[in-house]
Every structure is written in structure tokens, then in C-alpha cells.
Amino acid sequence: MKPSNLHLYEEELANLQASDNLRRLPQALHRGREIETADGVMLNLSSNDYLGLAADAGLRSEFLRLLTPENLLFTSSSSRLLTGNFTVYEEVENLLADLFGAESALVFNSGYHMNTGILPAVSNARTLILADKLVHASLIDGIRLSAARCVRFRHQDYAQLEILLRKHHAEYERIIIVTESVFSMDGDVADLARLVSLKHRYDNVMLYVDEAHGVGVRGRRGLGVAEEQGCVADIDFLCGTFGKALASVGGYVVCRRPLREYLVNRMRTLIFTTALPPVNLEWTKFILERLESLEERRERLARFSSQLRRALHGRGYDCPSQSHILPIMVGDSHEAVRRAEEMRRKGFYVLPVRPPTVPEGTSRLRLSLTAALTQEDIDRLIINL
């Protein structure tokens, strides 16, 4: 017998189906830069493997040769505050601090843990969070879990942000500005240097930047948009993930040492979870040690992105992207699904992005480029847009 309220969930699922917003877990096999589904083998244009490292079989083979029975550990069996703080965690954190020229770093199980854990830990009822309107859902969830008041300013409207800072700076113990560096749905890039300038006008303002889609692909050494814009040292919480361009798993924050120690003592998503398996941290360290040498991949990705952006503009699309993430704005969810199906028939694995991921009326196709693509792939894609 069904639970009496099960029909409520069934009705909501039916509504999602009717509006073309129902999601299902896809079944697929990964084959390098291609992906195989029931529709056939297609060029993968929906991956976050921006540098093509996850698709690099040679890189994996090199790493496997370095493993020993001592470091091939598939579980930490504990939180880091109990017995799960293996040496490789501290090696990765020290490496991150050295790369960024920072006092310290802290690793987390995921970018979601990072964003839902830091803001509640470092804010209270005397905190105001000023967040860009288009920050990721994980940041929104972190804000909701905090005791802070939040005002979301119009996307990249720094004039409005300046007004809010001027109006409220004296009312709160601290104000935290929250932004992404490369925005995950539009592909546009924040002016971090301007945000740093605004921050420095007030002694109680801090800056939180999520480089999830910037680290690895931006900056001379791949350290992200903050490196590119020369403001690494001016960001209080410089965050990123290992699970996209760096082809691993987990998240991190680069920060001053007192902030790191405070998070170790107050961040619930760090304290109350089993730590990542040490073998994952070994792979992360392996990638980080090679990050600076991947400049050719970053340049190739930037070149492909510029070519595709010009092609989209030439076909009349209003593409706001300044990065390797290029949205094709459609608007209606039904039309976005239809266009994605058409692209898959042409051999391109492209997915529609629909509400609630994006606001109603802004459904789109999201083209996510990687350095594993070839010039021939880009040429064929442009012809079939």
C-alpha cells in the first residue's frame, strides 16, 4: 500500500515532466573526448574536464606507476579530526599554500561541502553577506545555513554593490562579498580587481571568491582568475575545486592561518564527515605538481573558446561568455530540449540547462569546451551550430 502522501510527489514529477524540466540520471560510457549513450557515440561538450586531464590515459598510467601499497589507500575511515588526517592531506595543503604564496590552505571533500560550510562557520547575526545574483546553488545554500543577513546584488553590478557597502558598512560587524570568478552558466568573468578595490575601502569587509571554473584554466600558472588579475593576496577566502579542470575530487580554500584554524574548529561540513580516501589526495597532488606545465593546454582551450565565441556572435547569438563555457540562449525549456536532441543527432553530446538551475525563461544549451578537443572538432561544431 502506498504512503498516503506519495501522490503529492508523483504530481510534482508529472508537472516537471509536462514543463520539460524533469531530470533523469544519464547512462553513458566515457571514451576519451567522446561519450557513448543509447543515442550513439558523440563528441562530449558537457564535461567539466576543461584541461582534458581526466581523459588522458597516459597521465593515469604515469600516476599508477607511482603508487605503492603504502599510499594506495581507498578510505580514510574517519574524519580528519579523529584518525583521518593522513600525511598526504597536509602535503596537498602545503603545496597549495606554496603555489598561491599564501599562509595556509584547507582541503574539503567537495566544492559543495566547501561552499555550504565556510559561510555558516565565519558569519553570525552581525554579518551581512552581499552575494552576486548568479552565484552557484551551493553558495546560496551556504548563505541560507548561516545566521547572516544576505542581500544579492544584480549580476556584476558593482555600482549597486558599492551603494550597498556605503549604506551598510557601519551597521555590521563584518560584511562578506561573495562571487564566482568564472560564472558556471553564462561563462562570464568577474572583475576581481574591482571587488578588491571596493573591499579595501572598509576595514570590516571580506571577499569570498569561488574559482571552481577558473582554477586550472586561467592565469599563467593555472591558478585562476585571481592570478590572472593579480589579486590573489587580497582575497580572504580564495576557494576552488579539484573536480573540474584538475580532474580529481574535493575542494579547497586558500586563506590566512587564523581563518584556517577557525574553520577546523567551526566548519561542520569538515568536522562531521569522513575524509576523502588518501589515494584521491595522492592524485590531486600529482596534478597540482604539474599544473604550471599545462600552459599549452590552457592556450589551446582559450583559442578554441575564442573561435566558437566569434562563430556564435556571427550567427546572431547573444553570448555573454568570456571563457570556455559558452551558452546558447534559447529561453523556453521545451525548445531547449528540442535543440539539445538535434545536436545529439548531429553527434554532439549537448545538454539543455533548465530551471531551477537557471531562472525561468532563460533555458539554454551549455557548451563546455575542453583541451582534449581538436581543431577538426571545433570546425565541425561551428558548421553544425
Q: List residues with catalytic annotation.
A: 48, 136, 180, 184, 210, 213, 244
Cell of 354: 533548465
Scanning 200-277, the segments in alpha helix (DSSP H) are 225-228, 257-266, 268-271
Cell of 133: 545574483
d(Cα 128, Cα 47) in Å, to the nearest integer? 35
Q: If you write DSSP's letter for every residue of 267-296 in order, what string do you get?
A: -HHHHTSPPPPHHHHHHHHHHHTTGGGGHH
User: Which H or E element spans position 153?
Assistant: strand 149-153
First to last CA, the chain: 50
Cell of 184: 558556471
What b/e sequence results for 246-277 when a residue is b if at least 16 CB atoms lie within 10 Å of its CB, and e otherwise? bbbbbbbbbbeeebbeebeeebebbbebebbb
What does the chain come to in residues? 385
* Maximum pairwise Cα distance, the chain: 63
Half-sphere exposure of 256 (CA within 13 A, CB side): 9
The residues near 38 (Cβ < 8 Å, ≥ 6 apart) are 27
Residue 120 preceded by cis peptide, ω within 30: no
d(Cα 90, Cα 79) in Å, to the nearest integer? 14
d(Cα 293, Cα 226) in Å, to the nearest integer? 19
Half-sphere exposure of 277 (CA within 13 A, CB side): 11
Residue found under cell 588526517: 85
